[in-house]
Chains A and B, each alone.
Chain A
Amino acid sequence: MKSLLLILVPLVAAALALAWPGQRTRPWLLPAAGLIHAVLSLWLFLEPPVVAADAWLGFDPLARAVLPVVSLLFLVSAWYAVSYLRIRAERPNRVFIAALLAVLGLLSAGHQARHLGLLWICTEAVTLAAVPLLHFNGTPRAFEATWKYLLVGGTGIALSLLGSLCLGYASLYGGGDGHLTFVALMGQGAGLSRPWVLIAWVLLLVGYGTKMGLAPMHTWKPEAYGEAPAIVGAILAGGVTSVAFTAILRVRAVVGAAGEGGMADHTLLAIGLFSMLVAALFLLGTRDFKRMLAYSSVEHMGILTLGASLGPAGVAAALFHVWSNGLTKGALFLSAGNLRRAAGSPSMDEVRGMSTLTPWSAAIFVAGMFAVTACPPFGPFFSELKVVRAALETGHGLATGLFLCCLLLAFFGLTRVVFGIVDGRPRRAAKAAGKRFKESAGVILPPLVLLGLSLWLGLCPPRMLADAWAAAVTQLYPTP
C-alpha cells in the first residue's frame, strides 16, 4: 500500500498543482509532496515490505537500494525550487511544477516496476513529462535543447520498446506463457531463445542507455542540462538516469539467467569505458560550466555501467555510486545554478571572480567539484574505490588502468573550468548582475545539505545502506 502511495502522492500533487490558483503559493506543493514522499520511502526503507513474486509493482530490494536517494534528492531540490521560483516570478510556473511532481511519481513507478512492459511505459512517461521542464526558460536555445532531447530520447525509447518485444518473443519461443515480469523471465532462464535474447539485450542497452546518457547516445545531455534550470538538471542527473540504470540491471539479470551474462558484461564494460573516455575528452574542451556538468554526468554513467559489468561486488559498488553521485551532482547543479544566475552567463570566457561575487556558492561549487572527482573523504571516492577493487578482483587490470586515466583527464577538465570561473577579478557586467542576486539561505542551504550528505556517505555510511545494496545484489544474482 505504502509503495503505491509513493506513486500516487506525487501524481495527486501534480493534479493539484494544475488546479492551484495562486502563482506565489504553488511552489510550496513541491516540498510538501517531496516531504511526504521522503517519509514514505524512508519508512519503506526501514521496514521493507514483502513483495509477491508475480507482482507487477513493488518496493523490492532493488527499488529499496535506489529509490530513497531519488526521494532525498527531490526533497532538497524542491526546497531549493521554492526560492528559485520566487526569483523567477516572471515565468508562469503551473505546468513546470505539475511536470516536476509528475516526474517524481513516474520515477517512483519506474523504480518499482517489476514487469517489462510496465517499466517501458513508466520510462516513456517520464521522458514525456520532463519535456515542459526543459523549456521552462522559453528561450530559442531551450527549444533547441528540448527538440534534441525529444528526438534522441524518443528514438532511444522506441528502440527499448523493440528490445522489450524481442525479449517477449524470446520468452514465447522458449515456450513461455506470456508472463513478462522479470521474475518469470528469470525463472525461464536457459529456456529463453538465445538469439532473441542477444538482439533484445543490444536494443535494450541502446534504448535505456540513451535515457541514461551513455556515449555515443549522450548527445541530448549537454544541451538539456545546459539550458534547463538547475533543479531540473539535478533531478534528471540523479533520478531519471537511475531509473534507466535499474532497468539495465533488471534486464541484465534476465540475460544472465539465460546464460549470456558473460557477453552482457563485456558489452557493459566496453560501453562504460567508452562513455568515460568520451566524457573525459569533452571535459577537456568545454568552456561552459553547465555543459561541463552534463559531461561529468556522462562520465559517472560510464562508471555505473562499468561497475555493473563486474559481477556482484561491482553491482554493489555501482549502487553505492548511484547514491554518492546523485547527491554530489545535486550539490554541484544547485550551486552552478546560483553561479549562472549571478554571473549572467554560463561560459568561462565571460565569467570569472565568482569567489568574490558569490562566495558561498563558489565555495560549494569548488568543494562539490573535488567531491565528484573522487577526492576523499566524500562519497564518490569510496564508491569509485569499491569499483576499482571489484575490477582488480575480477582480473580487469587493463580496464582499471583506463578507468583511472579517464578519471585523471576528467579531473584536469573540471578543475580547468571551475577555477577559471571562480578565480580572478569579476567582470564589470557580472558585478552589476551580482548585485541583483542575493545569496539567501534558501539557495545556499540546499546544495550545502547535499554536500553534507555526500560527506556523510563517505565518512560513516550506515550499515543498513550496505545491507540494502547487498540485498539488491542477491535479487539480481540469485544463487541457484
Chain B
Amino acid sequence: MIDSNLNVLIGLAMGLNLLALGTSRLPALIRAMSVQGVILGVMPLLMEHQLDWRVLLVAVATICGKGLLIPGLLRRAMRTVQIDRELEPLIGFVPSLLLGAAGTIAALALTHLLPLLPEHAGSLLVPGALATVLTGFILLIGRTKAISQVCGYLILENGIYLFGLLLIKAMPLLVEAGVLLDLTVGVFILGIIVDRIQRAFDSLDTRKLTALHE
C-alpha cells in the first residue's frame, strides 16, 4: 500500500519532467520544478513506517528548500532582471519532449537489468531517478538562458535525491544533510552570479558568453 502511494508520487514527478521539457515559458518551468520539489519532500514521510526526527528533517528541509525557497529566489531574480519570459531552446521543445520520453522508457527498461534488493524491486525510484537526471541534462544542454540552466541543474539534483531515497535508512544523515546544504548554497551563489552576469551583459543569454574560446 505504502509502496503504491510512493509509486504514484514518483510517476507524478516523472510527468513533471515532461512538463518541464515541453514548456516554452520560464514561469511554468519554475512552477514544475517547485511542485516536483514538494512531491520529493513528501516521499520520505511515506517510506518510513515510524517517523523519526531525521526523516522529518529531510522532508521539511526538502519541501522548504526545493519547493519554496529556491523557486522563490529564481522568481525574484527573474523579476529584478526583467528578462523575457520566453525560453529560447537550442534543442526544440518537441525534440526534447521526445528525448525525455525515450529516456523514461529506456530508464524503465534499464532498471530490469540492474540488481535490486527485494524491497526496492517493485519501486519506481530507480527509473524515476534516471529519467529525472536525464531531464536535467537535456535542460542544461538544451536551454540558453542562465535561469533555465539553473532549473535544469536543480532537476538533475532532484534525480540524485530520488536515488538517495533508496539509501535513506542505511546511510548516515551526513550525506543527506550535505545534499541539502550544498544545494542551497550552490543555488544561492548561482543566483548571485546570474545577477552579476546581468549587470555585465544586460542579458541572461549564455550564448553571449563567448568571448573566451580558441
Contacts and interface: CB of A to CB of B under 8 A. Distances in A.
Interface of A: 117-118, 120-121, 124-125, 128, 131, 135, 140-141, 143-148, 150-151, 154-155, 158, 161-162, 164-166, 168-169, 172-173, 176-178, 180, 193, 195-196, 222-223, 226-227, 282, 285-286
Contacts of B114: 195-196
B136 to A, nearest CB: 8
A385 B159 CA distance: 44
Interface in B91-124: 113-117
Contacts of B12: none
A394 B157 CA distance: 41
Q: Which range contains the number of B residues in contact with the other chain?
A: 35 or more
A158 B152 CA distance: 12
A282 B156 CA distance: 31
B115 A286 contact: no
A164 B186 contact: no
A144 B212 contact: yes
A141 B196 CA distance: 12
A117 B173 CA distance: 10
B56 interface: no
Nearest to B177: A121
Contacts of B186: 124, 128, 154
Interface stretch (B19-27, B79-87, B160-168): B160-168
Contacts of A168: 167, 170-171, 175
Interface of B: 113-117, 133, 140, 146, 149, 153, 156-157, 159-160, 163-164, 166-167, 170-172, 174-175, 178-179, 182, 185-186, 189-190, 193, 196-197, 200-201, 206, 209, 211-212, 214
Given A168-B171, A172-B167, A180-B171, 7 more contacts: A128-B182, A140-B201, A141-B212, A143-B200, A150-B189, A173-B116, A178-B171
Contacts of B159: 162
Contacts of B115: 173, 193, 195-196
Contacts of B133: 162
Query: Which 7 pairs across A and B sit closest by C-beta, in order of nearness?
Result: A178-B170, A117-B175, A140-B200, A121-B178, A144-B209, A124-B182, A223-B212
B188 to A, nearest CB: 9
Contact of B174 (A118, A151, A166, A176): A118
A141 B212 CA distance: 7
B34 to A, nearest CB: 19
Nearest to A56: B174
A147 B206 contact: yes
Contacts of B185: 128
20 contacts: A117-B171, A117-B178, A118-B174, A120-B178, A121-B182, A141-B212, A143-B200, A148-B209, A150-B189, A150-B190, A151-B149, A151-B153, A154-B190, A155-B140, A161-B160, A161-B179, A165-B164, A169-B167, A195-B113, A196-B115
A117 B153 contact: no
B98 to A, nearest CB: 23
Contact of B197 (A143, A180, A222): A143
A148 B140 CA distance: 12
A172 B170 contact: yes
Contacts of B196: 135, 143
A110 to B, nearest CB: 13
B212 A226 contact: yes
